[in-house]
Amino acid sequence: MIWKEELVFLSSILLEDDTFRITTEENIDTLARSINNNGLINPPILLINNSGYSIISGFRRIKAIQSLGKSDLVARVLCKNDSSLEYVKIAISDNSFQRQLNLIEISKCYKMVSSYFEEKALPEAAFSLGLPDNPVLIKKIIKLCDLPVIIQKYILSDTLSLAMALELTKPEYNQTGTDIAIIFDKLKLSLNKQREFLTLCYEIAVNENITIADLLKEDNLSNILNDKNIDRNQKTRLIRNHLKKRRFPTLIQFETEFENNLKKLNLIEGIKLIPPPNFEGSSFHINMEFKKITDLNEQTKYLNKLIENPVLRKILSKEI
């Protein structure tokens, strides 16, 4: 690698060429103040070509200098003699060995390197560049940088969990990933609720032969989301109930009837009757919890009587 320090005019730098951009941080205020007070300590790395200078590393530094009203800067300029892989290595190394990269930045690095190495060789290449070299992690997050920018921001702000972000890389969410992420952000859903929402939407779309995009555009959902008179917790409950009714048409009726009959059974302490998930299937479970043999003895006697209870028979026959 051959380079030399040069004074470069900002007007000759191809600012829109982000081929080698890794950083996701856009705020430059603190950096600009530092440069203004202390000067440019670490010059950007540029690549000279026929139309000007491409940025290899230092996108934020250059933007900060531009914000200070300066017209030029000192940069380390590479001659266009090395392979493109060498430029990728320089861009990654200049970032990874100076600071801790976030998930999206690491994903970008993996994506850059993957153009030059087979999958089995990626871990070793990643290690040499200061990146995590776990093959499972590489396979998981390499696609994150292909997601829309707004989804990437939700990942970095912890609004969208990594598990759900990986779900949104699947083909079925190509047209709806952003809309789903926005809903998660509005409602501040936990991981379990995010997973439930995705599952319900997907199963409804498959069962009714519609797209998830069409489902999300329906008035019932949009009216709840846009209602300014209810808080996000109420919206979450209403949307969850709506989707569950849609996915399991008789579920709410079964739940209500089951609870009413459960009260009629008047189960003693330590015994629980658990219905099949979503009332799909025929297997019920009895859960017994006891501390002493006498408790177990009492519960066993009660169960023998419970078997003859017509309300239990009605529940098990699902005539509820």
267-283 pLDDT, tens digit each: 888 889 988 887 777 78
What pLDDT, on a 0 to 100 scale, did the predictor assign at position 1?
64
SS3 state of residue 138: helix
What pLDDT, on a 0 to 100 scale, did the predictor assign at position 320?
46
> What are the domain boundaries of the chain?
1-99, 101-145, 147-247, 251-316
The two three-digit tokens of residue 225, written as one number: 């989301």
DSSP element (H, E) containing 78: strand 72-78
Is 183 exposed, middle or buried (CB count within 10 Å of its CB: 0-12, 13-18, 19+)?
A: buried
Q: Which residue has the tokens 């177990």?
A: 296
What pLDDT, on a 0 to 100 scale, did the predictor assign at position 22?
95
Whether the pLDDT of residue 249 is over 80: the answer is no
Whole-angstrom distance, CA of residue 20 vs CA of residue 122? 18
Are 67 and 28 in contact by the 8 Å Cβ rule? The answer is yes
What pLDDT, on a 0 to 100 scale, did the predictor assign at position 231?
93
SS3 state of residue 300: helix
Neighbours of 188 (CB within 10 A): 11
Task: For residue 273, report the phi and psi dihedrals to the nearest 5 degrees.
Answer: -105, 120
pLDDT one-digit tens code per residue, 30-39: 999 999 999 8
Whole-angstrom distance, CA of residue 54 vs CA of residue 77? 10
Are 44 and 9 in contact by the 8 Å Cβ rule? The answer is no
Are 47 and 40 in contact by the 8 Å Cβ rule? The answer is no
What pLDDT, on a 0 to 100 scale, did the predictor assign at position 121?
95
Q: Which residues contact 236 (CB under 8 A, 6 or more apart)?
A: 187, 189, 193
Whether the pLDDT of residue 319 is over 60: the answer is no
- pLDDT band at 26; cut points 50, 70, 90: confident
Tell me the mean pLDDT in the region 112-130: 94
Whether the pLDDT of residue 235 is over 90: the answer is yes
End-to-end CA distance of the chain: 77
* Nearest partner of 240 among 259, 221, 226, 212, judged by Cα: 221
More confident residue, 302 or 282: 302
SS3 state of residue 154: helix
Neighbours of 274 (CB within 10 A): 10
Query: Quick one: what percent of the chain has pLDDT higher than 70?
Result: 98
State the pTM of this model. 0.71
Query: Quick one: what percent of the chain has pLDDT higher than 90?
Result: 52
Tell me the mean pLDDT in the region 51-58: 93
Task: For residue 48, report the phi and psi dihedrals to the nearest 5 degrees.
Answer: -85, 135
CATH number of this structure's domain 1-99, picked from the four choices 3.40.800.10, 3.30.360.10, 3.40.50.2300, 3.90.1530.10: 3.90.1530.10
- DSSP classification of residue 268: P
Mean pLDDT of the chain: 89
The two three-digit tokens of residue 185, written as one number: 């952000």
More confident residue, 19 or 256: 19
